[in-house]
Copies of this chain bind each other. A is one copy, B any other.
Amino acid sequence: ALTHRRGRCICPGQGSDFVQPQSLEKMEVFPKSSSCDRVEIIATLKSTGEQRCLNPNSPRVKKMLTRIMKKRSAKSTSK
């Protein structure tokens, strides 16, 4: 898995601007730290488990994160 190695950012470039929300298993948000002087966002895709860097400055990425947070569980109806 992609993790911080001392003093090194995980994502080589800026990262992509978009990923299909339905294909998303999770999004990892790494705050700026001593290891990396910029925020990093890594998406893990459901089907393949592939990890992909996303661009934290991209409005589309920010909107996707906000939309994920907004989709709270519907009033829990007992199954």
- State the A residues within 8 Å of B (CB): 4, 21, 24-33, 37-39, 46, 56-57, 62, 65, 68-69, 71-74, 76
Count copies of this chain in the complex: 2
A31 to B4, CA, bound (A): 23
30 A-B residue pairings within 8 Å (CB atoms): A4-B25, A21-B31, A25-B33, A26-B28, A26-B29, A26-B30, A26-B31, A27-B28, A27-B29, A28-B29, A29-B29, A29-B65, A29-B69, A31-B68, A31-B71, A32-B71, A32-B73, A33-B46, A37-B73, A37-B74, A37-B76, A38-B72, A38-B73, A39-B68, A39-B71, A39-B72, A39-B73, A56-B69, A56-B72, A57-B72
